[in-house]
A and B are shown apart, each in its own frame.
Chain A
Amino acid sequence: MAVTQLVGAKIHRREDPRLITGHGHYIDDFTRQGAAYAAFVRSPFAHARIKSIDMTDASKAPGVAGVYTARDFKGQLAGTHPAAPAFVAEKKYIPERFPIAEKEVCYQGEIVAVVLADTKGQAADAANLIQVDYEELPAVMDTEKAMAKGSPLVHQGAADNISWDLTYTGPEVTEAAFQEADVVVKEHILQNRLAPVPMEPRGVLAEYETYDKKLTIWMSSQNPHFIRLFVSGAMGLKESQVRVISPDVGGGFGSKISPYPEDYLVPALSRLAERPVKWIETRTESLQNATHGRGQYYDVEVAAKKDGTLLGMRMTQFLDVGAYCGTFTAFQACTCLMAGGAYKWKGISARTIGILTNRVPTDPYRGAGRPEATHLVERMVDLVALELKMDPVEIRRKNFIQPTEFPFTQNFGLVIDSGDYDKALDRALELVGYKELRKKQADLRKQGRYLGIGISTWIELCGFGPSAATAPATGGIALVESAQVRVTPTGSVIVYTGTHSHGQGHETTFSQIVADQLGVPYESVELRHGDTSEGTAFGYGTYGSRSLAVGGVAISMAATKVIDKGKKLAAHMLEAAEEDVVFDHGSFHVKGSPDKAKAFGEVAFASYGMNLPEGMEQGLEAVAYFDPPNLVWPFGTHIAVVEVDAETGNAKLEKYIAVDDCGNIINPMIVDGQIHGGAVQGIAQALYEEVVYDEDTGQLKTGTMIDYLLPGIGEIPPLSLDHTVTPSPTNSLGVKGIGEAGTIAASAAVINAICDALSPLGIKHVDMPATPDKLWHMMKGASK
């Protein structure tokens, strides 16, 4: 791409004036004439048999339009909830899932009945009148116990509670490494279960038009085309009969990718009741039912030489699947493939086990598998350094994949496209003032104070993705991306993309790319997304830091096609040969004579006229699909500085440095915003957030924002950000994803800092969240 004004410019997000003045259009801003409100009756038990449901009182309650149970949906919805095989080739057991339970409920919050009423309040009141007679069954809450023979079952009648057990690489690939080792360190590492907590909860408004047999669904989704695919299939409609509109989306963090029971039930209710139906998730429903993230633990050991050379890793992932398989739950097994991080290894043995429990299903949550991998390897590298009394910086440098070694084929055959890990590390050390900090740390230790410095040299694979890798993993549909660029007669440009922003600022960045490429004013470019009836035939959604690296590239390709057609037309208009026409800064001119030129707008206007070259059709528009040849591989270094209060165990984040490399940067302000949000999410996992269920009864204890600790602005120090730029060779824009980077890096930096702080007490590892109570207990135990 030419060096231009807009790409790389720190311009304000175009969507912000609308969003921050309350003029956004979120799902609850929509309604339809005559809409009924749905209220769902959910299981209060983690596991129970439904003996009977008495709806007499509810159906007589004021304003009630209908009361429904599983049986009513039997003829309406076919098939079970989709579960993509994702990265796990061998599927052992996927429990069947119908969007509403009939005989057995398997997690607290599972839907058993639904009420439709004229108002929200009436629906909620009537839902309280439904009497469900349950017979409580034992709740399976502990993943370790769930694997044992004779464990109670998550689903009655199942053979066991194992969803999958897959060995990517057996112990034989690390035998030599472990034999050669001078030291072996082992750890048991927890990944706390997290709730996604988007600012806007989910919501669905559906209108089935009985006479036309057309269904329109308004919903808050990262992935409207997939929803259309799944819902049309389940309802026996053609994809073309269904339109899914996802307007402004107030955050998703992965939890708005997969279809949910309500996404099927609300449209089916509209067809049943022959009126529009609306449902907006409450915050408690969101904490209880939106798919959770993480919820894993790892057994890991690492072999190394005395000089710090890393040799081999053996790791097993134990993943809490929840009560049903989330559509992309198995994607989180990619932790195994990324466990090696930024380092060279002789061998890595990796196994993943997916275990069912009576909790809400897990599914991708910002980073999905890659934060877990970073946390794992960055913790282990620090443990090796501690064992060898090496500086954590030194051991990293010693084992980094070197800039000259890219493209680098790592242990699982994935090809890391580019990188310069030392460069980001150097810059981060400089920003934090590493040497002085180490001195300060030594001084403070003498005063009995615990300061720690934690380093996380993270890498990521993202930008899903190559058809060869993704089509088998999703069950057929490759995660490529489509775009359409349409130029109006007056030269303004409408861009359609199959990605869908839920906070990323695509309207801004994508318009920057197109405005630059076509040389038209930024203001005349308009981005459209989130509506399956507008633009391209299929869109693949926004997740996995793919929108720019796949969708943005598709847009750029479509713009190139528009220019190519424009060239042909301009040549005709200028009476020159096509080969002699150059396009530059919004103008087509004849090579060598810049005054023989036609502006882009003139060509656009002419394209709708009558004087076209022979065989050319009217119009100026193009569709492109981008199937990336590889994934993209951002990287960076985050450093956290934490002081742990010797008396209270409170870990206070003093400083946070992030140096990230996402290749070429389209808009630095948006990149910084993504890093800020992402890093704070990772910091939150390390220090605050955890979904807690009662281990005996399976009751969710963190069902409100009082109990689920989302940190606020008061808890986070200003972050210091910088970037290095190592363009990706994988795509024409040289870009890599940045949406998940902060989250991927942060938890390891914070926990490494805490462990570093407490190392004088002999504390080697701390699990997340590192609460004051937990740290105080550990410190007390250690100093005895």
Chain B
Amino acid sequence: MIPAAFEYARASSVEEAAKLLSKYGEDAKVLAGGHSLIPLMRLRLAQPTAIVDINGLKDLDNIKEDGHKLRIGALTRHVTIQNSSVIKEKLPLLAEVAGEVGDNQVRNMGTMGGVIAHADAAGDYPTLALMLDADIVTNQRTIPAREFFKDLFTTSLGPDEIITEVVFPVANGPHKYVKFRRRLFDWAIVGVAAQKINGDWRIGLTNVGPTPVRATAVEEAMHKGAKPEEAAQHASDGLDPAGDLRASPEYKKHLARVLTKRAINQAEGRQ
């Protein structure tokens, strides 16, 4: 519960942050909301030699509408996303998801960039990023979400690469995120997102594998006109989730099917 000693530096620009990161080397870490990094440091599961604090980079804390895209700065807090009128109008699914991340403290501190970079299997934004074909923009390049999440806690980010924004498409058709968890402030045991976009369904699954999953078999079945309960049977196709204290692999697969059905039905205004 007491972290190992580390250096601390506060960056005043993305360039400076990148410089600091390369100066401190591979074991340096960006600090955003701190709600994933600090718990790991307290348990000494992460022992960065240096912390580069980007909380001063105010221009990373914004939401911009850009034609058919929404550009969400990496430092935008969950609470801002949850309450943003632009997001509520243009990508209400994202506002809904943000409102269900952790509790007030987590939502006041945690950031879009932090969740994406941390790549926890139970993170909620990665699911949306993957299923909606979002782009992850860094100080060096733009990475399509489908090439970003490599493994559990593993992304294609380089050591001195900093996420600056995440770019989502506008989508305001029927949508729903069904997050199954034991406690209101918990991560998803399994989460399912459903979004209708250009007449077709996008279905994303949270915490059923090391990385987020797009349930293409369900999407295809829906495209071919299957009923939600039939299509949802495909939600667990190809899944091989790890069991944990909250759920066995078998139960997670079952939840993926049940919650997919519920997500589509609820998106369409049925119970």
Interface residues of A (CB under 8 A from B): 120-121, 124-125, 128, 282-285, 647-648, 650, 688, 692, 701-702, 704, 707, 709, 711-715, 771-773, 776-777
Contact = CB atoms under 8 A, between A and B. Distances in A.
Interface stretch (B11-19, B193-201, B244-252): B244-252
A704 B40 CA distance: 11
A120 B258 CA distance: 49
B2 A124 contact: yes
Contact of A692 (B4, B245, B258): B245
Given A120-B2, A121-B5, A773-B251, A688 B43 contact: no
B5 A709 contact: no
A648 B254 CA distance: 8
A285 B255 CA distance: 34
Given A714-B185, A772-B180, 11 more contacts: A124-B2, A125-B4, A128-B44, A284-B43, A647-B258, A688-B182, A702-B245, A711-B183, A713-B184, A714-B183, A773-B248
B197 to A, nearest CB: 27
A284 B43 CA distance: 9
Contacts of A650: 180
A648 B43 contact: no
B43 A704 contact: yes
A726 to B, nearest CB: 37
Contacts of A688: 182-183
Nearest to B2: A124
Contact of A715 (B44, B103, B184, B254): B184
Interface string B165-206: 000000000000000101111000000000000000000000
B184 A282 contact: no
Given A124-B2, A773-B247, A773-B248, A712 B185 contact: yes
Contacts of B246: 709, 771, 773
Nearest to B3: A121
Contacts of B5: 121, 125
Contact of A283 (B1, B247, B255, B258): B1
Interface of B: 1-2, 4-5, 43-44, 103, 180, 182-185, 245-248, 251, 254-255, 258
B42 to A, nearest CB: 9
Contacts of A771: 182, 246
A193 to B, nearest CB: 14
A368 B43 CA distance: 32
Contacts of A776: 251, 254
B245 A701 contact: yes
Nearest to B261: A647
A648 B184 contact: no
B1 A709 contact: no
Given A125-B4, A709-B182, A648 B258 contact: yes
Contacts of A715: 182-184
14 contacts: A120-B2, A124-B2, A128-B4, A285-B1, A648-B180, A650-B180, A702-B245, A704-B43, A715-B184, A771-B182, A772-B182, A772-B251, A773-B246, A777-B248
Contacts of A647: 258
Contact of B2 (A282, A709, A712): A282
Contacts of B245: 692, 701-702, 707
A-B pairs with lowest CB-CB distance, top 6? A714-B184, A282-B1, A124-B2, A773-B251, A647-B258, A773-B247
Nearest to B4: A125
A302 B30 CA distance: 63
Contacts of B185: 712, 714
A713 B1 CA distance: 25
A538 B184 CA distance: 45
B258 A709 contact: no
Contacts of B251: 772-773, 776-777
Contact of A121 (B2, B43, B182, B248): B2
Contacts of B247: 772-773
B93 to A, nearest CB: 22
A463 B134 CA distance: 64
A777 B245 CA distance: 15
Contacts of A714: 183-185
A375 B184 CA distance: 27
Nearest to A120: B2
Nearest to B251: A773
Given A120-B2, A648-B255, A712 B43 contact: no
A282 B185 CA distance: 22
A752 B251 CA distance: 24
A709 B251 CA distance: 18
A130 to B, nearest CB: 15
A690 B69 CA distance: 46
Contacts of A285: 1
Residue picked from B2, B180, B183, B247, most chain A C-beta under 10 Å: B2
Contacts of B44: 128
A202 to B, nearest CB: 13
A284 B183 contact: no
A692 B245 CA distance: 8
Contacts of A772: 180, 182, 247, 251
A692 B182 CA distance: 17
Nearest to B250: A777
B189 to A, nearest CB: 8
A282 B245 CA distance: 22
Nearest to A780: B254
Contacts of A777: 248, 251
A771 B246 CA distance: 8
Contacts of A711: 182-183
A745 B109 CA distance: 39
A776 to B, nearest CB: 6
Contacts of A692: 245
A283 to B, nearest CB: 6
A701 B247 CA distance: 14
A702 B183 CA distance: 16
Nearest to B184: A714
A776 B5 CA distance: 46
A282 B246 CA distance: 24
Nearest to B42: A282
A688 B103 CA distance: 18
A349 to B, nearest CB: 37
Contacts of A282: 1-2
Contacts of A713: 184
A346 B222 CA distance: 65
B254 to A, nearest CB: 7
Nearest to A646: B258
A648 B247 CA distance: 11
Nearest to A773: B251
Contacts of B43: 284, 704
